[in-house]
Amino acid sequence: MTDLPCVLLTGFAPFGGETENPSWDAVRRLDGETLAGHRIVVRCLPVAFDASLDALRTAIEQTAPALVLCVGQAGGHAQLALERVAINVDDARIPDNLGAQPIDRPVVEGGPAAYFSDLPIKAMRAALLAAEIPAEISQTAGTYVCNHVFYGLMHALREHAGVRGGFIHIPYAPAQAARHPGAPSLAIETVAAGLRVALRTALDTRTDRRLAGGAEH
Amino acid sequence: MTDLPCVLLTGFAPFGGETENPSWDAVRRLDGETLAGHRIVVRCLPVAFDASLDALRTAIEQTAPALVLCVGQAGGHAQLALERVAINVDDARIPDNLGAQPIDRPVVEGGPAAYFSDLPIKAMRAALLAAEIPAEISQTAGTYVCNHVFYGLMHALREHAGVRGGFIHIPYAPAQAARHPGAPSLAIETVAAGLRVALRTALDTRTDRRLAGGAEH
Amino acid sequence: MTDLPCVLLTGFAPFGGETENPSWDAVRRLDGETLAGHRIVVRCLPVAFDASLDALRTAIEQTAPALVLCVGQAGGHAQLALERVAINVDDARIPDNLGAQPIDRPVVEGGPAAYFSDLPIKAMRAALLAAEIPAEISQTAGTYVCNHVFYGLMHALREHAGVRGGFIHIPYAPAQAARHPGAPSLAIETVAAGLRVALRTALDTRTDRRLAGGAEH
Amino acid sequence: MTDLPCVLLTGFAPFGGETENPSWDAVRRLDGETLAGHRIVVRCLPVAFDASLDALRTAIEQTAPALVLCVGQAGGHAQLALERVAINVDDARIPDNLGAQPIDRPVVEGGPAAYFSDLPIKAMRAALLAAEIPAEISQTAGTYVCNHVFYGLMHALREHAGVRGGFIHIPYAPAQAARHPGAPSLAIETVAAGLRVALRTALDTRTDRRLAGGAEH
């Protein structure tokens, strides 16, 4: 079993006054599962600009994954958001869990302006919708710790030939929505099922499908 | 068992191009359950102005319920919506399942302008939030078949002393949201759990709690 | 000039931490104008449950209007909202300007559950859209001072045979939206132009047009 | 007068079934005006992937501007959106005005993944809010012709040392919102006033202000 290649799947700790983070609650359900000939290893990242990437890079060294998928909470979203691009900027509206609040600072000094996801997001979205799980393409992962981790992941993978990376944002859990009047949510079970579909599609697909998934603005 | 007083719980058939209606999918899960000393009987109502109330009135006659709760789909909503008031107007943006599309016609000719719910909606909302199920008070049930049934229910109950009635709108199921980009949803299991909480609270509460649940506009 | 029949047009004072209320800023631009053979008289109502209706009833006594249109602010709305119905309930999420915060109290003890607008809201909406001014039918005026005034107006008009009444909610002014990230707004000039179109249509139309303007929920 | 350095300000032609484009309607009001020692020259760009950048590059050659600001319509937005970043991808949900509908194609083959705006968007937003004009920072300009032009502009400016460029998205005009139920809008006058404030600030500011303007996702 341990000879199988590995997928590194990460969630985040709670932040912004929440007591749970559905990304970790969903991700940890997949710990140890096998998908498309890969064993899933999960990690929980801190919601802190500096510590998050340290933890991610350590996890990559420890697990030597074939594919890395990071998952984060997007309060206010109704669907799984397959992120297309990470940009080289930290701009924090609220402090992170260690009190840092960078403004208009690059994630990586001298790094490129952006990295695109390596994952076949159009095929993943099509597979999710076929599985009746709500999903959309997102053109921005924000400028907070999620984008920071996504950018830092893609930057780090330049040193790991053949390893692919990507990011998915997920809605609040229903219990969180009960504390945010009017906010959408998805059950942790639905998110976990969606992550399995997304990962299997990513592992099975080398060339993405040519499907429109853009936005006018 | 059949000596227990009964709760009549209704959902609706699919409409508006949908192939499922989460109100019926959730409601039927409670069929035959016992809650607070009451047995739950479920019915599926047609999405048709005239036939819906015929079916509801027949079900009331057949089951002689102590309490009637009707449940309908509110595509675009993120939370369970406990309806406060039904108004005496049919105004259909889209035809019903039998092709009828009334405009600015009363539900009951000569009936009062509106009926308020008999149910303790503030206590029900508090119980739902305590159970971590997203819920809100709604000041309008619209002007389509749901409002028609809610109004017709309250009008019919004038002839049934002591029988209480009310209405809850629920979001799309996730499978529906997968076909409506950006639309919120709730899992059928979450809705069914919410209906149990709401019904138990309604059965146990005679005087509603004094909790703000209004809107500025 | 003073022999012309009169229209009473009211706005509200600022509330909820705002320093302006676009309803009054728009309404007062029409002061003294003549529309369809009627002279417009304007009044500013206090945002206070009790005082608002006292002021409105006094204004009705003083001006003996043929038609009364009350206008209020709906922060978060993008379009003029022609209100269909006022309900007999006060339920305040925030205190009014005098500190009162009634919960689930009737506007008028023993009054009917609701009153419908007397105005031809479908014809008014059609005229607004033809004039390229964004407008929609609204099925709820909320449960705060606006609904309180609308209900109180319709109740008072029962003693004034032939006098018609109604209510329109309007969006924030752009200056307010600059303080509410993401909030829609309409320019005061656009709202004032819309009120002229709406009033002229109301004065010229006795039987409303049969146009769909409902909502599914 | 013609000795003044020049600002090139562009809008777009109508698209997507609209008969007007508020970006051009607002932009052309500033034609020939002088702001902070610069003369404004306006151009209308076609909504077509290939032709838009041809027209923009020609206009840059003809006018030799010190600063280029492109403006586009964002139907559904309520506020002026100061764009932070353009990404190197075309992904069209709807065909452009010449029928082209590229999917996941780079704007510039071999170009960098993204370009950041040269303009001081935080200072511009602060100036707009101080002028009571609704404005926000946007982390994505989409993947349609607007992003295509923004990316192509920044790429072209690499050959024009010292010339700065940026992009602003604006809401529908009220007349458009009258045809889109519930859609927000801003008056053309408000947008034009906002463009003057934004341009003056851009011309007067070399180092942007350190103000948070990010998003969590």
Alpha-carbon distance D136 to nearest alpha carbon in chain C (angstroms): 7
Q: How many CA atoms lie within 13 A of A79 on its CB side?
A: 26
D201 confidence band (pLDDT: 50, 70, 90): very high
Count how many pairs of residues, chain C against chain D, have C-beta atoms within 8 Å. 71
DSSP secondary structure letter of residue C99 = S
Amino acid at D191: V
Q: pLDDT, tens digit, for every residue of C122-146?
A: 999 999 999 999 999 999 999 999 9
The subunits that touch chain D, with at least 3 C-beta pairs less than 8 Å apart, are A, C
Query: Which residues of D are less than 8 Å from C187 in CB distance?
Result: 174, 186-187, 189-190
Q: What is the pTM of this model?
A: 0.96
Q: How far apart are CA A51 and CA A32, in angstroms?
A: 25
Asked: is A6-204 a CATH 3.40.630.20 domain? The reply is: yes
**pLDDT beneath 50: ranges in chain A:** 1
Query: Which residues of A are less than 8 Å from D213 in CB distance?
Result: 91, 93
Q: How far apart are CA B66 and CA B141, in angstroms?
A: 23
Q: Over chain B, what is the mean pLDDT?
A: 97
pLDDT value for A2 = 61
Whether the Cβ atoms of residue C21 and residue C70 lie closer than 8 Å to each other: no
Q: Residues C93-115: what's their mean pLDDT?
A: 98
pLDDT value for D49 = 98
* Residue showing tokens 């509206």: A93
Burial of B167 from C-beta contacts in 10 A (0-12 / 13-18 / 19+): buried
Alpha-carbon distance B188 to nearest alpha carbon in chain A (angstroms): 10
C83 is catalytic: yes
Q: How far apart are CA A6 and CA C147, in angstroms?
A: 60
Assigned token pair, D44: 């209308």
Q: pLDDT, tens digit, for every residue of C164-176?
A: 999 999 999 999 9
Residue D163 has pLDDT above 80, yes or no: yes
More confident residue, C160 or B1: C160
Query: C-alpha distances in angstroms, D198 versus D64, D128, D131, D136?
Result: 20, 7, 10, 12
Q: Does B185 touch chain A (CB under 8 A)?
A: yes
H or E element, residue D86: strand D85-87
Query: Which residues of D are less than 8 Å from A142 in CB distance?
Result: 139, 214-217
Q: pLDDT, tens digit, for every residue of B100-116?
A: 999 999 999 999 999 99
Query: Are B139 and C77 within 8 A, CB to CB?
Result: no
Q: Does D116 touch chain A (CB under 8 A)?
A: yes
Query: Are B91 and C146 within 8 A, CB to CB?
Result: no
Q: How far apart are CA C167 and CA C151, in angstroms?
A: 10
Q: Over chain D, what is the mean pLDDT?
A: 97
Size of chain C, expressed as the number of residues it contains: 217
CA neighbor of D111 nearest in space, from D91, D87, D92: D87
Between A128, A182, A187, which is nearest B190 by CB?
A187
CB within 8 Å of B61: residues ≥ 6 apart: none
CA neighbor of A198 nearest in space, from A161, A152, A157, A164: A164
Provide DSSP, C19-80: S--HHHHHHGGGTT-EETTEEEEEEEE-SSHHHHHHHHHHHHHHH--SEEEEEEE-TT--SE
Secondary structure tally for chain D: helices H, strands E: 6, 9
Size of chain B, expressed as the number of residues it contains: 217
Query: Which residues of B are less than 8 Å from A177 in CB distance?
Result: 78-79, 134
* Residue showing tokens 């590995």: A6
Q: Residues B73-86: what's their mean pLDDT?
A: 98
Query: Are A142 and D214 within 8 A, CB to CB?
Result: yes
Query: How would you classify residue A59: left for phi > 0, otherwise alpha for psi between -120 and 50, otherwise beta?
Result: alpha
- Catalytic residues of A, by residue number, are 83, 146, 169
pLDDT value for B142 = 98
Active-site annotation holder among B169, B180, B189, B217: B169
pLDDT value for B2 = 61
Q: Does C89 touch chain B (CB under 8 A)?
A: yes
B15 confidence band (pLDDT: 50, 70, 90): very high
Assigned token pair, C17: 């931490």
Backbone dihedral angles phi then psi of residue B158, each to the nearest 5 degrees: -60, -25
Report helix, strand or coil for C87. Answer: strand
Active-site annotation holder among C18, C70, C83, C155: C83
Q: How far apart are CA B148 and CA A29, in angstroms?
A: 44
Which chain B residue shows the shortest CA-CA distance from C113? Answer: B114
Q: pLDDT, tens digit, for every residue of C7-56?
A: 999 999 999 999 999 999 999 999 999 999 999 999 999 999 999 999 99
Whether the Cβ atoms of residue D104 and residue D51 lie closer than 8 Å to each other: no
B169 is catalytic: yes
Query: Maximum CA pair distance of chain A?
Result: 47
Q: Are strands D67-73 and D6-12 parallel, antiparallel or unpaired?
A: parallel
Assigned token pair, B97: 């399942």
Interface list for B 23-42 with C (CB within 8 A): none
Q: Which strands, in side-by-side order, build the sheet including A135-138?
A: A34-35, A38-45, A6-12, A67-73, A164-170, A80-83, A135-138
Whether the Cβ atoms of residue B67 and residue B38 lie closer than 8 Å to each other: yes
Q: Does A122 touch chain D (CB under 8 A)?
A: yes
Residue D1 has pLDDT above 90, yes or no: no
CB within 8 Å of B125: residues ≥ 6 apart: B82, B135, B136, B137, B211, B213
Q: What ipTM was predicted for this assembly?
A: 0.96
DSSP secondary structure letter of residue A159 = G
Q: How far apart are CA C210 and CA D182, in angstroms?
A: 21
Our CA angle for B43, B44, B45, nearest 5°, is 115
CA neighbor of B152 nearest in space, from B40, B199, C139, B144: B144
Query: C-alpha distances in angstroms, C169 versus A199, C129, C142, C150?
Result: 48, 16, 10, 11
Provide DSSP, D86-144: EES-B--SS--TTS----SB-SSTT--SEEE-SS-HHHHHHHHHHTT--EEEES---SS
User: What ranges make up the beta strands (E) of D111-205?
Assistant: 114-116, 135-138, 164-170
Query: Are C144 and B72 within 8 A, CB to CB?
Result: no
Q: Give me the residues paired with residue B11 across strands.
A: B44
Q: Give me the residues paired with residue A6 across strands.
A: A39
* Residue showing tokens 């940009």: A87
pLDDT value for C2 = 61
The subunits that touch chain A, with at least 3 C-beta pairs less than 8 Å apart, are B, D
pLDDT value for C3 = 85
User: What ranges make up the beta strands (E) of B25-79?
Assistant: 34-35, 38-45, 67-73
B3 confidence band (pLDDT: 50, 70, 90): confident
Indicate the domain borders of chain C. Answer: 6-204
Which chain D residue shows the shortest CA-CA distance from A170? Answer: D217
Count how many pairs of residues, chain B against chain C, have C-beta atoms within 8 Å. 135
CB within 8 Å of A115: residues ≥ 6 apart: A85, A86, A150, A151, A154, A155, D113
Which chain B residue shows the shortest CA-CA distance from A130? Answer: B178
Q: Does C208 touch chain B (CB under 8 A)?
A: yes
Query: Are B78 and A134 within 8 A, CB to CB?
Result: no
Q: Which of A176, A190, A191 to mutate to test the interface with B (most CBs of B within 10 A)?
A: A190
Query: Are C178 and D136 within 8 A, CB to CB?
Result: no
Size of chain D, expressed as the number of residues it contains: 217
Assigned token pair, D86: 């353009």
Q: pLDDT, tens digit, for every residue of B142-198?
A: 999 999 999 999 999 999 999 999 999 999 999 999 999 999 999 999 999 999 999
Query: Are D85 and A87 within 8 A, CB to CB?
Result: yes
Query: Are C132 and D178 within 8 A, CB to CB?
Result: yes
Alpha-carbon distance C3 to nearest alpha carbon in chain B (angstroms): 36
Query: Which residues of D are less than 8 Å from C135 in CB distance?
Result: 178
Q: Does A185 touch chain B (CB under 8 A)?
A: yes
Query: Are C189 and D187 within 8 A, CB to CB?
Result: yes
